[in-house]
Chains A and B, each alone.
Chain A
Amino acid sequence: MAALGTLSSANLNGGQKLAVKFFTVAIALFGAQVLFGMLAGIQYLKPDFLFGILDFSVNRMLHINAMVVWLLFGFIGAVYWILEDESGTPVVGLGLGNLMFWVFTLAVVVVVLVYLLVQTGPGELKSIWLINEGREYIEAPRWADIGIVVCVLIFFYNVAATFMKGRFTGIAGVLVFDLVALAGLYLAGMWYTPNISMDQHWWWWVIHLWVEATWEVLVGCLLAYGLVKTMGVRRKIVETWLYIEVALLFGSGILGLGHHYFWIGTPEYWLSIGGFFSALEPIPLVAMVVHAVFDAGHHKMKSANHPALAWMIAQAFGNFFGAGVWGFMHTLPQINLYTHGTQWTASHGHLAFFGAYSTIVIAFVYLAVQKWRGDVWMSGNMAGAWKWKWALFLLHAGMIGMTMALLITGYEQSQIERAIGGSTWTAYFEAQAHVWFVQGMNWRMISGWAFTAGFVLLAWDLMTIGKRETRPAQLPAAEAAAA
């Protein structure tokens, strides 16, 4: 055992050693997401900035792809983190998992380099196989898709085989089932068709059923484990809540898919089905807030890891407001007719992805650095605690600022371009040139700088928190310690 306060892999179990590799790449990619988002944001205000070198389309693609991949790396890392602890046995096939990490990381690097240097190809199938698939969020070329499927299968093998060998808890059951769905759904996005309606129909199976169903359940599992770990909440309570969340999330989210089927050529019955079920989607998110806040209050906010607990509470609220409230605001077809494809979507997307997913990954990275340094003290009176608090504040202030600014531009756009102007080319640019739109974009940029500062502080804090700390952590007393 290394000295307290020093980073040492001797402090970690096998799965956790692999997890911290995933977390490291995840945080680096988070930085890339922020960088390319800022470049794209600047281009709204200064259209000639990097024109012809790194165009908006390239920056925007890197912005959203870095996000998908860093969150995936964060989730995979988080699952490896809890795996041995939860199953009570070493990870089965860990060597394969390690190999998978390097292959996955290398593939990401190659894809990013091709995006940056080659950017686009001729209108042929080979461009889709080698350069860029040109479909939002899943732009990765087909060769990389196949690589991702292989990596996810290895990951699934590690998880399923380990739980089969050790304890198969309630959390494990939900997790294994969820990973099957998550991996299977990716296949729906891996084929070409000239029919854009058909294309987008299956494309939403990947995007929606990942982000609004399987990712949410995965986060539910991680949050359940996190609450047991940081506060010692009773497992029976946590697992009952997890089942309630699964019932509500899948019950609303699977048919909530219909809210993407309003305007892409799909039949009219989706207007009612999509409207109804997606309107129910906020309910599980309310349940998750109640659950997290009740447990935190019940345990008098006593936690061995203050930053992790703070980010978990932030997750509960961020998920509710970003995914729940902001999603509900424009999910009914009567509203969505005007808001679909405007900055409304960007406003919702920013707060939802950050609130629901970035927060939980950050919470887990805080749990990881604590143990990595030998379970150091991370509660009250921590040296340099201002860093995590300011990072938390700046990231939230920046994100809320961006969300509000984009919402205002979205309102303006749906009024002037959509309702009045009728969505023609001229109407689009009239709305883009409007003073309210430009003001909104300026505020978005200012908020973006606050967010960037928050990210820098977060990265610095993650590298230094607990350094030279000599007090051991006071771990929660309940079953968590016994487990």
Chain B
Amino acid sequence: MSQTQTQTQTLWWASESFWKKMAIWITAGSVVVLIFLTFDTVKQITAGGKRVPAYSVINQRIDYVFDDKRNHQVPVIGPEEPLFGKKLSEEEAMALVSKGKLTTQAKNCMNCHTLLGNGAYYAPDLTKSWLDPNWGTKETREQKMVDFLMNPEEMLHNSIGRRMTNLGITEEEARATVAFLKWMSSIDTNGFPYNFKPIDQSDPAPAAAPAASADAAAAPVQQ
């Protein structure tokens, strides 16, 4: 026993002082690398940056299209399509999106839904909810979303009887939430969610030929 102990003490790689130094250097090194990367990341995810568009992007069409080079879908900013038919300045857009973000926090959305995949798993992910075919056509979408947010408990929305509760969302809050969701759908999420089938937003004859997926979703009651 005592022999083993003496042996252990003589081995530098098993000594207390060696590992103490290792612990300090490895931790310090990791922190330095993290700080360096954080500066770059924060720059890239600032609204208006490379990966997270400016808030005024809600004035335009946002789509989610497969990119051959990156081998997954990426958000594509299209022609002008102002939300609720009103073009907003950058400041107005930011105020509206911020109101929507505050609403999602104050109403605790994240404890049923996921946003960017984070949150709870009791309700659908909201990352690309602006592009969900369940809203029917792009003409009816905005109003449908507002109506749903204000009175969700009256709309049976699946075959299992799970409902969203009425959270007392005002019309102003509902419109702001829709703005927030539209803006969120423009974030470059490295292809998450994968294989998403967005709503048909093409221009010609929108009411005449709805896409098959939109057709199925137009009837929310599946039971």
Contact = CB atoms under 8 A, between A and B. Distances in A.
B89 interface: no
B160 A123 contact: no
Interface in A411-444: 413, 418-426, 428-429, 432-433
A61 B125 contact: no
A421 B133 CA distance: 12
B178 interface: no
A239 B115 CA distance: 42
B77 interface: no
Given A196-B184, A342-B121, A123 B166 contact: no
B37 interface: yes
B185 to A, nearest CB: 11
A196 B116 contact: yes
Contacts of A196: 101, 115-116, 180, 184, 187
B122 to A, nearest CB: 5
A312 to B, nearest CB: 22
B: interface residue count bin: 35 or more
Given A196-B116, A243-B20, A423 B168 contact: no
A196 B112 CA distance: 17
A425 B132 contact: yes
Nearest to B176: A123
Contacts of A268: 190
A197 interface: yes
A239 B16 contact: yes
Interface in B85-117: 94, 97-112, 114-117
Contacts, number: 271
Given A240-B19, A424-B133, A194 B101 contact: yes
Given A244-B19, A424-B132, A250 B30 contact: yes
Contacts of B23: 174, 243-244, 246-247, 250
Contacts of B99: 123
Contact of B216 (A58, A201, A426): A426
Interface of B: 14-16, 19-20, 22-23, 26-27, 30-31, 33-34, 37, 40-42, 44-47, 51-52, 55, 94, 97-112, 114-125, 128-129, 132-134, 153, 157-163, 165-170, 173, 176-177, 180, 184, 187-197, 213, 216-217, 222
15 contacts: A61-B108, A123-B169, A134-B109, A139-B111, A170-B20, A196-B115, A244-B19, A246-B23, A250-B26, A255-B33, A340-B192, A341-B119, A424-B217, A425-B133, A428-B125
Interface of A: 40, 43-44, 47-48, 51-52, 55-58, 60-61, 119-125, 127-128, 131-136, 139, 170, 174, 192, 194-201, 236, 239-240, 243-244, 246-247, 250-251, 254-255, 257, 261-271, 273, 333, 337-338, 340-343, 345-346, 413, 418-426, 428-429, 432-433
